[in-house]
Amino acid sequence: MPEQAIPQDSLRGIPFSYASCSIGSQSTDTLPRKLEAISKAGFQAIELSFPDIIEFGSRTLGHQVAPENFAELITTAGEIKKLCEGYGLKIMMLQPFANFEGWKRGSIEREDAFARANGWIEIMNV
């Protein structure tokens, strides 16, 4: 049985998006500068990379934010959401799942991966 194509109309609701990790590679290319450029280029939404959250949190909080410090990352996510709203951008997705899959059931790595996933879900709910 042939697969049916996805109806074109169903794709109209997907915002024109750009990944924050795909723009700028210099230390001066901060998240606010990236968001400004993405907005000015006519994009409606972003895929927010986890390194950008950490970098922004570290700059705004004045110290290095650890990837597992979900309390600070949730605070940072709230500030990023406000920043995006100011540029008329939606956050379409969060890109944090590096090294998530492939761990054996019961392994320490799998336990760690699921603990991180739970923290990321909290960030996404901001």
pLDDT in tens, 7-42: 888 888 888 899 999 998 888 899 999 999 999 999
Residue with tokens 């990944």: 19
Position 116 scores a pLDDT of 87
Per-residue confidence band for 76, with pLDDT thresholds at 50, 70 and 90: very high
Q: Between residues 98 and 64, which one has the greater pLDDT?
A: 64
Single-letter residue type at 105: R
Q: What is the pTM of this model?
A: 0.81
CA distance 25 to 116: 26
* The pLDDT value given to residue 63: 98
Q: Name the residue among 125, 92, 123 with its Cα closest to residue 14.
A: 92
What letter would DSSP give residue 21?
A: G
DSSP 53: H
The fraction of the chain above a pLDDT of 70, given in percent, is 97
